[in-house]
Amino acid sequence: MVSNIVSYILIGVLLLGMVVLMLVQGRRQKKAQEDYMSMLDTLRPGVKVKMASGLLGRIKEIREEAPGFKTITLHIGEKNPVEMTFVIEAVQGIVNEEAINKINAEKAIASVGAEKATEDNKSEVSATDVKLAKAASKKQTVNKNK
């Protein structure tokens, strides 16, 4: 008799826990969806974005083809630019160009070597690039240690 009561209480607690987890997860998804929609609303021509397919490009134009159906035209590439049109929902996120510059500086330092850079290479790798790359590597080290 007592074991049956304990079993019912345990099942009730487990079911209650599952309901709470589902509610928390639903709120997280709703918040993520709201953040995504607000990001799409902030898109303007000239903003660099990453598409779900992995393409990077700068927005040239945003058109509303029909109510609730928007498309964007992206300018992709620097040397041989191409224009492509996507539905706006294919945008995965806005590209942080400062972060890309830090990564490029880090790559330049890795290939050239900050201490062994020749006079010709010093013009390519500025002191600011060296500082940014060192800061980025310290940040990565801290993140790895967590």
Q: What is the mean pLDDT of residues 104-132?
A: 60
- pTM for this predicted structure: 0.53
Indicate the average pLDDT of the chain: 79
The pLDDT of residue 71: 93
Between 145 and 113, the more confident residue is: 113
The pLDDT tens digits for 12-70 are: 999 999 999 998 888 888 998 898 888 888 889 988 999 999 898 999 999 998 888 99
The pLDDT of residue 78: 81
The pLDDT tens digits for 69-82 are: 999 999 998 888 89
**Of 69, 73, 91, the residue nearest 83 (C-alpha):** 73
Give CA torsion, residues 21, 23, 28, 33, to 10 deg.
140
Beta bridge partners, 66, equal 69
pLDDT at 146 over 50: no
The pLDDT of residue 143: 46
- How many angstroms separate the CA atoms of 32 and 7, rounded? 38
The pLDDT of residue 74: 93
The pLDDT of residue 28: 87
What CATH architecture is 43-94?
Answer: Roll (2.30)
Beta bridge partners, 83, equal 75
117 Cβ neighbours under 8 A, 6+ residues apart = 125
Q: What is the mean pLDDT of residues 129-141?
A: 59
The pLDDT of residue 142: 45
71 Cβ neighbours under 8 A, 6+ residues apart = 62, 63, 65, 85, 86, 87, 88
